[in-house]
Chain A
Amino acid sequence: MTALLEVDGCTKRFGGLVANHDVTLAIEPGEIVGLIGPNGAGKTTLFNCISGRLHADEGRIRFAGADITRLGADRICHLGVARTWQIVRAFGRMTVLDNVMCGAFGRTNRTSEARVRARRLLDFTGLAGHEPVLAANLTLADKKRLEIARALATQPRLLLLDEAMSGLTPLETAAAVDLVRRIHAELGLAICVVEHVMEVVMPLSHRVVVLDHGEKIAEGEPRDIVRNELVIRAYLGDRYGAGR
C-alpha cells in the first residue's frame, strides 16, 4: 500500500534559521498521526509546507502520488488536504453557516447543495443552532470547531489539525478529542494532529512523530515514544536526560 502523504527530506529555512531540516515522514490512509515537539520545533512550519502556505527549500512532498511541493494552498486543498490553524482563521464577519458553506463550495457550485452539506457538518461537529451567529462572536472552542467543520466541508482525505485543542478548558478538550475520534471513525479520514500537550496526543494517535529543532528525532507507537530517551531529553532538557 502506498502512503497517502509522503514528506521526503523536507528542509525549510527562514534566512539563517533552519525551521525544518531533512524531515521525512509518511501518513497512511485512515491513520491518526501525532506530530509533537517542544515550542519552536518546526511543527507548524511543516504543516505550512504540506498545505502549501510555504514552500520547502529542499525535498519533495507527495500527496496520493502527486507532487505537491510547489503547489499553492488552494490547489493542495482541492487535491484533498485540509487544515486548521493554530491561531484561528475563521471568517469573522460571516455567519457560522456561511463559513462552512465557503468550504463546501470547493466541491460544488450550487448554493443549495453547499448549504445542505454545511448544515450536515454543523450537526456533526455540534455547532447546530449557531448557524446565524457571526464567527467573530463565537467562543474559542467553537471557533476551533468551526474551522474543523469548514475544513471537513472541502471533503479532504487528509486533515491537518494545528493545535486544535490548545487554549481550551479540560472539558472542551475532551469534547475536541471526541470530535477527532468521530471524524476518524465515521468519515475515515487520515488525520495529523500537531499538539504539544502529550496527554492529548498519546491516547489519540496510532503513531507519533517527534520534532525537535526542526529535525525528526523519533517516530513510533505512543507507548514506545514516551520511553524514548531523546524525546524525554527534548521535552525536559539535557540535565534530566544526562542525570539518569
Chain B
Amino acid sequence: MPALALAAAALIALALPIPLQVAGYSYFVTVAFLVILNAMLGVGWNVIGGWAGQFDFGPNVFFAVGAYVAALLAVHLALSPWLGLVAGVGAAVVICAVLTWPITQLRGHYFAIATVAIWMIAQPIGATWELINGSRGLFLPLRPATGPLDAVVSLRFPGRSKALAFYYVILVLFAVTLVLLRMVDRSKLGFYFRAIRDDQEGAEGIGIDSRLYKVIARSITAAVFAAAGVVYAFWALAVFPEQVLDLNWSTFPMMATVVGGIGSLWGPVVGAVLLIPISQLMGATLGAGPLAGRGIDLVVYGVIIMLVAALRPNGLLSLPWRAWGRRLVGRRR
C-alpha cells in the first residue's frame, strides 16, 4: 500500500470516532470497534488461509481460549487484562500447536473438516465444563476504576467513554498486529508459508518442513484471535460459550479477507471496513421498523455478498486501483 494511502487511512482511523463521540453517536463508535476487531481477526486468519493456503474453519476456538483465559485470571486472581492478554495468547498458541500438529498430516478438505471437528468438540466442552461455569458463563468482576491510569490498566472505562476507549484499545492492538505480521510476511516464515500454499511437495523438496510451518502459521492465527478474544471479553464483561464460539468469529474474518483480497496484508482490512458497516447499516435500516425480525436486512446482505463474489471472485484489491490512482493524479496535473 502506498505510503500516502496508509497515512490517510491511519489518520482517519485515529480521528474519525472523535466527532462521532462528541456528537453523541456512540453507537457508531461501537460499529467502528467491531470493524477494527474483525479487521484484526481477518489479518490473523489471512496467515493460515491466505499465506499458507490452508482451509481453517475453526479459528474461533482460539478467540474463545483468549477470552476465557483472561476472564478466568481476572475472576480468580484479579489479574490485569494486559497480563491476561499475555496469558491468553500464550495459552492459545500452545493449545493450537498441540491440536494442530496431528491434523497437519491431513491435507486440503480433510484438514478443513478437522478444524471444524475441533470447533464442534469445543462447543459441548464449553457448555458443560464447570471450571468455566458451563453455559452459565463467566462474569467479569465489576468495580469502578480508581483513576485514568487504573482505567487503562484494568480496561474499566466509565459510562459513555467506554465505546471510544475500547476503540482505541483495539486500534492499538491492531496496529501492533499489523506491524508484527508485516515482519512475518517479509521474513523466512512468510516465504515458507507461501511456498507451502503454492506447492507443498515442491516446498518439502527444498527443505521446508511443511507440517511444522503449517503449525506455526496456524499458531500465529491463533495468537491474533486470542488477543482479540481477550479484548472482547473485557468489552462484553461476560464470556458465554455460545457467544465466543459463535461461527461468525470464523466466517466474518474469512469473508472480510475474501472481499478485500486473499493473501495480501491489507485485503482483510478493506473487507472489514466494507462488510461490517454494511451489515450494521442494513440492520439499523431494513432490520428496524415494520419489517423488523423478518430478516430482510440479511436477505439484502446475502445478495450483496453473492454479487461481490460473482463479479469479483478474487477480491476488491484485484481491481486496477493503481491504474485508477495514476489516472486520477494525472488528471489533476
B-binding residues in A (CB < 8 A): 51-53, 72-75, 77-78, 82-83, 85, 89-94, 98, 101-103, 105-106, 109, 111, 114, 150-151, 153-154
Q: B282 contacts the other chain (Cβ, under 8 Å)?
A: no
Known: A89-B205, A105-B191. A111 touches B186 (CB 8 A): yes
Bound CA span A55–B263, Å: 34
Bound CA span A111–B185, Å: 11
Bound CA span A109–B186, Å: 11
Query: A48 CB to closest chain B CB, in angstroms?
Result: 10
**Contact call A153/B198, Cβ cutoff below 8 A:** no
Contacts of B210 in A (CB 8 A): 74
**Contact call B206/A77, Cβ cutoff below 8 A:** yes
Bound CA span A173–B186, Å: 36
**Contact call A114/B188, Cβ cutoff below 8 A:** yes
Contacts of A114 in B (CB 8 A): 188, 191
Known: A74-B210, A92-B198, A93-B198. A51 touches B191 (CB 8 A): no
Q: B24 contacts the other chain (Cβ, under 8 Å)?
A: no
Q: B114 contacts the other chain (Cβ, under 8 Å)?
A: no
Contacts of A151 in B (CB 8 A): 205-206
> Which residues 187-241 of B sit at the A interface, judged by CB distance below 8 A?
187-188, 191-192, 194-195, 197-199, 201-210
Contacts of B188 in A (CB 8 A): 105, 109, 111, 114
**Contact call A102/B204, Cβ cutoff below 8 A:** no
B206 touches which one: A94, A98, A106, A109 (CB < 8 A)?
A106
**Contact call B191/A102, Cβ cutoff below 8 A:** yes
Of all chain B residues, the one with the shortest Cβ separation from A82 is B206
Query: B197 CB to closest chain A CB, in angstroms?
Result: 8
**Contact call B206/A154, Cβ cutoff below 8 A:** yes
Most chain A Cβ neighbours within 10 Å, of B186, B202, B203, B209: B202
Known: A105-B192, A109-B188. A154 touches B202 (CB 8 A): no
* Further contacts, 12 of them, CB under 8 A, given A73-B205, A77-B205, A114-B191: A72-B204, A72-B209, A77-B204, A89-B199, A90-B202, A91-B194, A93-B198, A94-B191, A94-B194, A98-B191, A102-B206, A103-B206
Bound CA span A171–B197, Å: 33
Bound CA span A109–B197, Å: 20
Query: B307 CB to closest chain A CB, in angstroms?
Result: 26
Bound CA span A153–B191, Å: 14
A-binding residues in B (CB < 8 A): 186-188, 191-192, 194-195, 197-199, 201-210, 263
**Contact call A53/B206, Cβ cutoff below 8 A:** no
**Contact call B194/A98, Cβ cutoff below 8 A:** yes
List 25 contacting pairs A-B, 8 Å CB cutoff, sorted by A: A52-B204, A53-B205, A72-B204, A72-B209, A73-B204, A73-B205, A74-B209, A77-B207, A82-B205, A85-B205, A89-B199, A89-B202, A91-B198, A91-B202, A94-B191, A94-B195, A102-B195, A102-B208, A103-B207, A106-B206, A150-B206, A151-B206, A153-B206, A154-B206, A154-B207
Of all chain A residues, the one with the shortest Cβ separation from B206 is A103
Of all chain A residues, the one with the shortest Cβ separation from B197 is A93
Known: A74-B207, A74-B209, A150-B206. A53 touches B201 (CB 8 A): yes
The 5 closest A-B pairs by CB, nearest first: A89-B202, A77-B207, A91-B198, A106-B207, A73-B204
Bound CA span A114–B198, Å: 19
Bound CA span A93–B193, Å: 12
Query: B213 CB to closest chain A CB, in angstroms?
Result: 10
Bound CA span A53–B203, Å: 11
**Contact call A85/B206, Cβ cutoff below 8 A:** no
Contacts of B207 in A (CB 8 A): 74, 77-78, 103, 106, 154
Of all chain B residues, the one with the shortest Cβ separation from A83 is B205
Of all chain B residues, the one with the shortest Cβ separation from A160 is B205
Bound CA span A151–B202, Å: 10
Query: A3 CB to closest chain B CB, in angstroms?
Result: 22
Contacts of A72 in B (CB 8 A): 204, 209
Contacts of A91 in B (CB 8 A): 194-195, 198-199, 202-203
Known: A73-B204, A154-B207. A94 touches B198 (CB 8 A): yes
Query: B296 CB to closest chain A CB, in angstroms?
Result: 40
Bound CA span A51–B197, Å: 21
**Contact call B191/A89, Cβ cutoff below 8 A:** no
Of all chain A residues, the one with the shortest Cβ separation from B209 is A74
Bound CA span A114–B195, Å: 15
Contacts of B203 in A (CB 8 A): 91, 102
Query: A66 CB to closest chain B CB, in angstroms?
Result: 15
Query: A104 CB to closest chain B CB, in angstroms?
Result: 9
Bound CA span A106–B204, Å: 11
Contacts of A150 in B (CB 8 A): 206
Contacts of A102 in B (CB 8 A): 191-192, 195, 203, 206, 208
Most chain B Cβ neighbours within 10 Å, of A51, A105, A154: A105
